[in-house]
Amino acid sequence: MTSDTVKLSLPLAVAKGSRISCGFSSNGLPVGWGEVVGHLVNLRVGRILKNDDVVFRVISKDWLPGDDKTASGVSCLLEAQQAVEVGEYECVVERGGYSLAWVTLSDKGAAGKRTDESGPMIGRLMAEKLDLGCVQGFIIPDEVDILKGLVVDLALGQGFDFIMTTGGTGVGPRDITPEATLAVIEKRLPGYERAMTGVSLAKTPHGAISRAVAGTLGHSLIVNMPGSPKAVAECLEPLLPTLKHTLEKLQGDPSDCANLHK
């Protein structure tokens, strides 16, 4: 399969770590923006645009609106992985490691009244077992529509490999994470849910209260985690050995799974 290719035209030098916004459109955009060659089916958050002289990572992705004369295009925020001089560059799109989005559900956290520890912990624990090229965090209030919209965008728009939520899995009035997740996933993973419940029950009978949901949307794996850092570490432990294989199968790996049961 031929790799997707992107042409970048940079009117100014870009320092390492700097972020630039680029638009990709088949019918052209202003100088200094990118121009697509081929179809960017693999352009997801975390992907690398690379040649011998430049390396950019896709940080976010959005749509550019169109009109009766201009087709809609894709707008991306790119982060320079090294200093880049003025010039035109033809780059190949590469994976560049897995991408993870953690989403913390917390009214106080979203209002800046509480420091979040659980979301960053998910990133650290997963980075110990997986090649994570891109980790982004989101702290939002306990609102169903906000979570549904964000998860759908992270999965189908941004193209994150893993979307891990934390918080909102209990029975309180503002615990809405399972409802929002069930509303958007395509395939449910009850084995993941049982594994988390099992390890929680081994620690406390209160583990039976959790309503955490796991499933898939598009090519993304979505898992609800508890709210406390301690419970996050406990529930993530039995899942960590399965994440890479689950994602590979979800994204089209045709190999036989039989040898995994020997």
In a domain? residue 257: no
Q: What are phi and psi of 161, to 5 degrees?
A: -75, -45
Let me know whether 72 and 128 are in one domain: no
Q: Is residue 256 part of a domain?
A: no
Q: So what's the pLDDT on residue 31?
A: 34
Within this chain, do residues 122 and 87 fall inside the same structural domain, yes or no? no
CATH number at residue 24: 2.40.33
Among 42, 59, 94, the domain boundary falls at 94
How much is the pLDDT for 253?
A: 81
Based on the fold, state whether residues 236 and 130 are members of the same structural domain.
yes
Among 53, 68, 94, the domain-final residue is 94
Give the pLDDT confidence of 158-179 residue by residue, as tens digits: 999 999 999 999 999 999 999 9
**Domain end among 48, 79, 94:** 94
Say whether both 206 and 223 belong to one domain.
Answer: yes
Is there a single domain that holds both residue 120 and residue 16? no
State the number of CA atoms in the 13 A half-sphere of 63 facing the CB.
9
Asked, for residue 126, whether it belongs to a domain, the answer is: yes
Q: Which domain holds residue 134?
A: 98-250
pTM of the prediction? 0.91
Inside any domain, residue 197? yes
pLDDT single digits (tens) 6-37: 888 888 899 999 998 887 655 444 334 454 44
pLDDT of residue 241: 97
Q: Quick check: is 194 in a domain?
A: yes
Mean pLDDT in the chain? 89
161 shares its domain with 143:
yes
Q: How far apart are CA 57 and CA 253, in angstroms?
A: 24
More confident residue, 165 or 93: 165
Summarize the confidence of residues 180-195 as an average pLDDT: 98
Residue 49 included in any domain: yes
More confident residue, 92 or 144: 144
CA distance 172 to 163: 23
Residue 259 lies in a domain: no
Of 25 and 45, the structure prediction assigns the larger pLDDT to 45
Longest dimension (CA), the chain: 62
Residue 226 sits in a domain whose CATH number is: 3.40.980.10
Instruction: Compute how many other C-beta atoms are within 10 angstroms of the C-beta atom of residue 187.
Output: 10
Arithmetic mean of pLDDT, 107-118: 96
Higher pLDDT, 255 or 167: 167
pLDDT of residue 87: 87
Assigned token pair, 86: 């003025």
Give the chain's domain count. Answer: 2
